[in-house]
A and B are shown apart, each in its own frame.
Chain A
């Protein structure tokens, strides 16, 4: 067995540094073959469950509990989900001439956020828009993430012709300007205001960026020893990509899910504001459109007509951004490491340069 083989089949990174000092024998042979090493510890099923619980449940929750961003983000997103699911049953849908035209917000309980120029209650209209928006976000986010991960993962791992073909396709989609593409397609395809279809349509031009990013990450991961080990064991490519490599990228993918969700909201509301998407129900974008065409920007006492849908849009985006950032912390091994240290030491403000090396096996765990 040569020295290079030994390097590749090294079982753990942490051991490597001290082991290589011992086994760097100039004759090229080695006494301690890693294939003969037996673990010193017996791991019972209970231990394993406990470890799983620690990585997947305990650590995330304790990080979230200590991170104000995560708390606010989760609260906001849950609030919107609540509005979109249960709120719809609690608040009656609004209709034209329900109240006086352009009633001011925060004056009566009947119209807590005021009314528009046709007397529709803005609060009820915000609540009833939410479920449709959430459906779009769900469909669009999942579509982007799934397609981006699958295409990027396969392209990066396979290389060669497959990579060239998939990358060319990805490149075409990266080049498509989002909103015009969606506009033209929405005009021609029979989508009839189905929120799931609209969500997918909105992200049709935005999965390319994720695919490209995933591809370049996979390009580096495929050189890692664990991939090479799997390859030499004859594990089929799709299993290597989706069981070994992609789990390493999960943090990145999940953060991108929140970004994709935010992008869906932005483009949905933007296109509804332009009045170019079909709709069956009022939503935040449609309200913006009505306000703009109703001249709320120069009429007096109509400012709330704009502000209510705007706050709804900005609110959920803040929630998603904070959630994304906190998930970044949940998955970021350096933060995890620092978090674990907190029990023993006082909080370290300084960046520990060594933590990058320690972190690698932990990404695998997450």
Chain B
């Protein structure tokens, strides 16, 4: 019962966030100084259109009627957005939803691999460092983690691009899929996709540095706790202690870090995809920004945020599975 109540509350929270983001984007389109609608009108009029024609076009593109009073326009905008009508791209002349839906899987593909691998590495390295605290391995790995944490992912991306691609020619310099291979479920195509995704995923691995430092701190704290001493006194094997006691308790706080880094990584995909010319959501958004393609830009913004909301929702919902103590009324514990 309690669990269901907590889950419902979390779901309501997610819906609230989605609503807030849609409202924010409406404000950006309509209300803010330098808002999207005004900027588009000015641009269309500069291209020699009559004000009436410009209005018509803006209405068509943004699916927003400029003449309506704010509150009606707001309700309409929210309803349209929730139904998936984000307007039409000015540059591509296609519905924004179609463009975004085509690009989203590529970004998700790269990001999920990056998050999974970097946290795996981070947790493993952090546990090793904590276990041999003060030893040579600890010093070495800590230096590695500090270096990794100090390199922004795009710096690593550029370096990988220069060396692994342009100088040594091991990996392709850009793009997301092999040319001349039929798209579909065949080995060459899948291998080509992985081949193209390698460098973007590798550059995101810098996140493992900070993660491993966090894991190291947590593990050291757990290693010093009383119940661990009891576990040792009970004569439990080292293996049981390190996996069931230390790792499990030290990983829990990492879960929150993971959650927050999901949002950051989604945002980072803009720069990442720009460097590798990887045609995903980020690159689409970047181009929309440069072409001042407001419908696509705002649609991408809303979609990325909703993607983050869903990712966080899934992660939160599964948290009680990772930590049974947080299942009940104790949802405040993270």
Output the least CB separation between A209 and chain B (Å). 4
Taking a contact as CB atoms under 8 Å apart, the answer to whether B147 and A270 are in contact is no
Taking a contact as CB atoms under 8 Å apart, the answer to whether A351 and B260 are in contact is no
Contacts of A318 in B (CB 8 A): 146-147, 150
Measured between alpha carbons, how far is A209 from B134 in the docked complex, in Å?
A: 30
Contacts of B110 in A (CB 8 A): none
Residue A196, interface by CB 8 Å: no
Residue B91, interface by CB 8 Å: no
Output the least CB separation between A283 and chain B (Å). 14
User: Which of A212, A306, A351: most chain B Cβ within 10 A?
Assistant: A351
14 chain-A/chain-B pairs, Cβ below 8 angstroms? A168-B16, A175-B21, A176-B263, A177-B263, A184-B28, A184-B289, A184-B301, A205-B267, A273-B154, A310-B158, A314-B150, A315-B150, A321-B146, A353-B225
Give residues of chain A (155-179) contacting chain B, Cβ–Cβ below 8 Å.
168, 171-172, 174-179
- What are the interface flags for B201-220 relative to A under an 8 Å C-beta threshold, 1 for contact and 0 otherwise? 00000000000010001001
Residue B54, interface by CB 8 Å: no
Taking a contact as CB atoms under 8 Å apart, the answer to whether A274 and B16 are in contact is no
User: Which of A1-9, A33-41, A96-104, A186-194 lies at the interface with chain B?
Assistant: A186-194
Taking a contact as CB atoms under 8 Å apart, the answer to whether A187 and B34 are in contact is yes
Taking a contact as CB atoms under 8 Å apart, the answer to whether B263 and A174 are in contact is yes
Measured between alpha carbons, how far is A322 from B224 in the docked complex, in Å?
A: 24
Output the least CB separation between A145 and chain B (Å). 16
Give residues of chain A (200-254) contacting chain B, Cβ–Cβ below 8 Å.
205-206, 208-209, 212-213, 216, 219
Residue A138, interface by CB 8 Å: no
A residues whose Cβ falls under 8 Å from a Cβ of B: 168, 171-172, 174-181, 183-185, 187-190, 205-206, 208-209, 212-213, 216, 219, 262, 265-266, 269-271, 273-274, 276, 288, 292, 297-298, 303, 306, 310, 313-315, 317-318, 320-322, 325, 328, 334, 349, 351-353, 355-356
Residue B285, interface by CB 8 Å: yes
Contacts of A317 in B (CB 8 A): 149-152
Residue B183, interface by CB 8 Å: no
Neighbour of A180 across the interface among B16, B155, B275, B304, CB < 8 A? B304
Chain B: interface residue count, which band?
35 or more
Contacts of A190 in B (CB 8 A): 33-34
- Taking A184-B297, A274-B270, A317-B151 as contacts, is the C-beta distance between A175 and B332 under 8 angstroms? no
Contacts of A315 in B (CB 8 A): 150
Taking a contact as CB atoms under 8 Å apart, the answer to whether B224 and A356 are in contact is yes
Measured between alpha carbons, how far is A205 from B24 in the docked complex, in Å?
A: 13
Output the least CB separation between B82 and chain A (Å). 17
Neighbour of B263 across the interface among A178, A185, A216, A306, CB < 8 A? A178
- What are the interface flags for B262-303 relative to A under an 8 Å C-beta threshold, 1 for contact and 0 otherwise? 011011101100110000000001100110000001101100
Give residues of chain B (148-186) contacting chain A, Cβ–Cβ below 8 Å.
149-152, 154-155, 158-159, 161-162, 166
Contacts of B34 in A (CB 8 A): 187-190
- Taking A180-B285, A188-B35 as contacts, is the C-beta distance between A303 and B162 under 8 angstroms? yes
Residue B226, interface by CB 8 Å: yes
**Residue on A nearest B29 in the bound complex, by CB:** A188
- Other A-B contacts than A187-B289, A189-B33, 10 sampled, CB-CB below 8 A, are A172-B20, A175-B305, A205-B267, A212-B256, A216-B332, A292-B158, A297-B158, A303-B162, A306-B158, A353-B225
Neighbour of A298 across the interface among B146, B166, B275, B285, CB < 8 A? B166
Contacts of B260 in A (CB 8 A): 174, 208-209
Contacts of A355 in B (CB 8 A): 224
**Residue on A nearest B134 in the bound complex, by CB:** A349
Contacts of A206 in B (CB 8 A): 264
- Chain B residues touching A, majority SS: helix
Taking a contact as CB atoms under 8 Å apart, the answer to whether A183 and B270 are in contact is yes
Taking a contact as CB atoms under 8 Å apart, the answer to whether B162 and A351 are in contact is no
Taking a contact as CB atoms under 8 Å apart, the answer to whether B298 and A184 are in contact is yes
Taking a contact as CB atoms under 8 Å apart, the answer to whether B266 and A269 are in contact is no
Residue B309, interface by CB 8 Å: yes
Taking a contact as CB atoms under 8 Å apart, the answer to whether A266 and B158 are in contact is no
- Taking A270-B152, A292-B158 as contacts, is the C-beta distance between A175 and B32 under 8 angstroms? no
- Taking A172-B20, A180-B267 as contacts, is the C-beta distance between A353 and B224 under 8 angstroms? yes
- The 9 tightest CB contacts between A and B, nearest first, are A317-B150, A177-B267, A179-B267, A178-B267, A318-B150, A266-B152, A188-B34, A177-B266, A209-B260
Neighbour of A177 across the interface among B154, B264, B289, CB < 8 A? B264
Measured between alpha carbons, how far is A169 from B224 in the docked complex, in Å?
A: 36
- Taking A270-B271, A314-B150 as contacts, is the C-beta distance between A175 and B308 under 8 angstroms? yes
Contacts of B78 in A (CB 8 A): none
Residue B188, interface by CB 8 Å: no
Contacts of A172 in B (CB 8 A): 16-17, 20-21
Output the least CB separation between B43 and chain A (Å). 13
Taking a contact as CB atoms under 8 Å apart, the answer to whether B312 and A175 are in contact is yes
Residue B334, interface by CB 8 Å: yes
Neighbour of A313 across the interface among B20, B155, B223, CB < 8 A? B155
- Taking A313-B152, A351-B224 as contacts, is the C-beta distance between A177 and B274 under 8 angstroms? no
Measured between alpha carbons, how far is A187 from B285 in the docked complex, in Å?
A: 13
**Residue on A nearest B297 in the bound complex, by CB:** A184
Output the least CB separation between B274 and chain A (Å). 6
Neighbour of A356 across the interface among B151, B217, B225, CB < 8 A? B225
Measured between alpha carbons, how far is A325 from B34 in the docked complex, in Å?
A: 42
Contacts of A265 in B (CB 8 A): 152
Measured between alpha carbons, how far is A205 from B305 in the docked complex, in Å?
A: 11
